[in-house]
Amino acid sequence: EIARAAAALLRKVKGPVGPLAGRKVLITAGPTHEPIDPVRYIANRSSGKQGYAIAAAAAAAGAEVTLVSGPVSLADPDGVTVVRVESAREMLTAVEAALPADVAIMAAAVADWRMAEDAAQKIKKDGSGKPPTLQFAENPDILATLGHHAALRPRLLVGFAAETQNVLDNAASKLTRKNADWIVANDVSPATGIMGGDRNTVHLVSRDGVEDWPDLAKGEVATRLVERIAFALGARDA
Amino acid sequence: EIARAAAALLRKVKGPVGPLAGRKVLITAGPTHEPIDPVRYIANRSSGKQGYAIAAAAAAAGAEVTLVSGPVSLADPDGVTVVRVESAREMLTAVEAALPADVAIMAAAVADWRMAEDAAQKIKKDGSGKPPTLQFAENPDILATLGHHAALRPRLLVGFAAETQNVLDNAASKLTRKNADWIVANDVSPATGIMGGDRNTVHLVSRDGVEDWPDLAKGEVATRLVERIAFALGARDA
């Protein structure tokens, strides 16, 4: 109790303490929703739990954290600036507005596609029995945009790859194509219970190879990742 | 306090009391989610609040209530049997399993369309820059299925029509096509704040005409509707 009060006092006097003190960390979390018409949208099963846990762990490690979050039913983590968005395009705008950052961790499950045009009015059955044809357009790739950013690429850029097959191949290819430093890859097949659940089994993919982490609580994955980030930044500073 | 204890004791001894005592009421609520692949789905903005409020009001009026609910983040109402489903097809199956019912109130925002085939694996960008083509199929029409049910059509069948334009025309046409007794129609344009909100402005459309209700809390809409149902059933019995 006294120790905690002393630590809080110290933070007030000296600013944040901890292995990420003085670092700006940008995190995305949750799904995006892509509107079809005023009442319908395309979504995905991301709960945001892993990204929120990383934001909380980074803040606890002393970082100045901005969390850009899609629609989730989670409370804002303590000491984190939360920007809430709905679509992939809104998320990209919020991410770019939050630059520069020392570290960016793109944990959101961003929709690859949106409607080419979302309808101003609710789409009705036309009586023909034929469903409407929806035209899709590719969404901006937020991870690749940061990875190839000429002036403001974060020093350490971490992407996520949620796959249901060829997990490691897809992650390695994503690392290269998007110019990320690390990809946190996991298998989100429904049988794993990872999407929406409280545990996660991830692989940390970098240019040095693949590290398999054991099955962990999402909070433990977050703590480990933040420790690794602090270590990597320290090594780059040295 | 004494009065409430006495009423609870009375219910235990004599069974449910209230204007809907002895009636079986079937209610649907919430959105449906239609899977695209293991991680993506099509959803709509229904929160389920109006349907849940009707279920609670019907149970409070003494009815035996089954609530078939799409994915929502609401607690089960007291004294109601809740069956949770995801897609329109699952909802239809659960509704048919709950028949016979004296009254059915179809408040769910059921998706008109689903994927013709939902993919077993996550759909990936194929590198062509071209989005995938999704083939849709029409979902079963739950309200029309009940309205035209040869043996088990509920004595009083109430549908909902959530529209963003031509609200009353669409509701009147729905009443006829689906052989419902009443349609509760409302304008769910985003500016109204009705979808997801706590208030509702509805029109009760029947073969006798249209009744405009004032702006009310969703709980008040529920209570009024249940009173009207009890009155209509009593009139039909007489």
Give the domain CATH number at B198: 3.40.50.10300
Q: Do strands B216-217 and B199-200 pair parallel, antiparallel, or not at all (unpaired)?
A: antiparallel
Residue B11 has pLDDT above 90, yes or no: no
Q: What is the pLDDT, as a whole number, of residue B69? A: 98
Interface test with B, best of A32, A33, A40 (most B CBs within 10 A): A40
Q: Examine residue B104 and state whether it is found in any structural domain, yes or no.
A: yes
Residue A11 has pLDDT above 70, yes or no: no
CA distance A62 to B146: 59
A131 and B138: CB-CB below 8 Å?
yes
Judging contacts by C-beta atoms under 8 Å, the chain A residues touching residue B113 are: 131-132
B72 interface with A at CB cutoff 8 Å: no
Q: Mind telling me how many Å the CA of B107 is from chain A's nearest CA?
A: 15
B16 vs B171 pLDDT, higher one: B171
Residue A203 has pLDDT above 80, yes or no: yes
With bands split at pLDDT 50, 70 and 90, how would you rate the model's confidence at A33? very high
C-beta of residue A89 within 8 angstroms of C-beta of residue A138: no
Residues 88-117 of B with CB under 8 A from A: 109, 111-113
- pLDDT single digits (tens) B62-118: 999 999 999 999 999 999 999 999 999 999 999 999 999 999 999 999 999 998 887
Mean pLDDT, range A207-217, rounded to an integer = 95
State in Å, rounded, how far the first CA of chain A is from the last one. 35
Residue in chain B nearest A40 by alpha carbon = B44
Q: What is the pLDDT, as a whole number, of residue A213? A: 96
CA-to-CA dists, residue B62 to A1, A66, B49, B56, B104, angstroms: 53, 51, 20, 10, 15
Of A13-17, A54-58, B35-39, B104-108, the poorest mean pLDDT is in: A13-17
User: Which of B109, B131, B195 lies closest to A136 in CB terms?
Assistant: B131
Burial of B180 (0-12, 13-18, 19+ CB in 10 A): buried
C-beta of residue B40 within 8 angstroms of C-beta of residue A195: no
Q: What is the pLDDT, as a whole number, of residue B43? A: 95
User: Which of A41, A112, A188 lies closest to B43 in CB terms?
Assistant: A41
Q: Examine residue B183 and state whether it is found in any structural domain, yes or no.
A: yes
Per cent of chain B over pLDDT 70 is: 97
C-beta of residue A86 within 8 angstroms of C-beta of residue A47: no
A122 interface with B at CB cutoff 8 Å: yes
With bands split at pLDDT 50, 70 and 90, how would you rate the model's confidence at B207? very high
Mean pLDDT, range A50-55, rounded to an integer = 98
A196 interface with B at CB cutoff 8 Å: no
B128 interface with A at CB cutoff 8 Å: no
Out of B44, B139, B186, B200, pick the active-site residue: B44
Judging contacts by C-beta atoms under 8 Å, the chain B residues touching residue A46 are: 39
B36 and A42: CB-CB below 8 Å?
yes
Q: Examine residue A4 and state whether it is found in any structural domain, yes or no.
A: no
**Chains A and B: how many Cβ contacts under 8 Å?**
95
Residue B15 has pLDDT above 80, yes or no: no
The number of folded domains in chain A is 1
Mean pLDDT, range A11-37, rounded to an integer = 90
| pLDDT, averaged across chain A | 92
Query: With b meaning 16 or more CB within 10 Å and e meaning fewer, what string describes A191-218?
Result: eeebbeeeebebbbbbeeeeeebeeeeb
Q: Examine residue A9 and state whether it is found in any structural domain, yes or no.
A: no
Residue A67 has pLDDT above 80, yes or no: yes
Judging contacts by C-beta atoms under 8 Å, the chain B residues touching residue A36 are: 42
Is A44 tagged catalytic? yes
Q: Mind telling me how many Å the CA of A97 is from chain B's nearest CA?
A: 26
Burial of A11 (0-12, 13-18, 19+ CB in 10 A): middle
A125 interface with B at CB cutoff 8 Å: yes
Q: What is the pLDDT, as a whole number, of residue B136? A: 87
Residue B203 has pLDDT above 70, yes or no: yes
Q: Examine residue A119 and state whether it is found in any structural domain, yes or no.
A: no
With bands split at pLDDT 50, 70 and 90, how would you rate the model's confidence at A199? very high
Q: Examine residue B8 and state whether it is found in any structural domain, yes or no.
A: no
Q: Which residues contact B113 (CB under 8 A, 6 or more apart)?
A: A131, A132, B34, B42, B136, B137, B138, B139
- pLDDT single digits (tens) B142-191: 999 999 999 999 999 999 999 989 999 999 999 999 999 999 999 998 88
- Find the domain containing A30 and state its range: 14-113+136-237
Q: What is the pLDDT, as a whole number, of residue B135? A: 83
B156 vs A116 pLDDT, higher one: B156
> Residue for token digits 């409370």?
A75
A134 and B134: CB-CB below 8 Å?
yes
Q: Examine residue B126 and state whether it is found in any structural domain, yes or no.
A: no
Out of A44, A139, A186, A200, pick the active-site residue: A44
Judging contacts by C-beta atoms under 8 Å, the chain A residues touching residue B45 are: 39-41
B196 interface with A at CB cutoff 8 Å: no
Judging contacts by C-beta atoms under 8 Å, the chain B residues touching residue A42 are: 36, 40-43
Residue A234 has pLDDT above 90, yes or no: no
Q: Mind telling me how many Å the CA of B12 is from chain A's nearest CA?
A: 39
B73 interface with A at CB cutoff 8 Å: yes
C-beta of residue B107 within 8 angstroms of C-beta of residue B157: no
B192 interface with A at CB cutoff 8 Å: no
A 10 A CB-CB count for A151 gives 6
A9 interface with B at CB cutoff 8 Å: no
Q: Mind telling me how many Å the CA of B35 is from chain A's nearest CA?
A: 9
Q: What is the pLDDT, as a whole number, of residue B58? A: 98
A45 and B41: CB-CB below 8 Å?
yes
Q: What is the pLDDT, as a whole number, of residue A228? A: 96
Q: Examine residue B3 and state whether it is found in any structural domain, yes or no.
A: no
Q: What is the pLDDT, as a whole number, of residue B2? A: 80
CA distance A11 to A63: 12
- Beta bridge pairs of residue B28: B68, B106
Mean pLDDT, range B18-45, rounded to an integer = 95
CA distance A222 to A216: 10
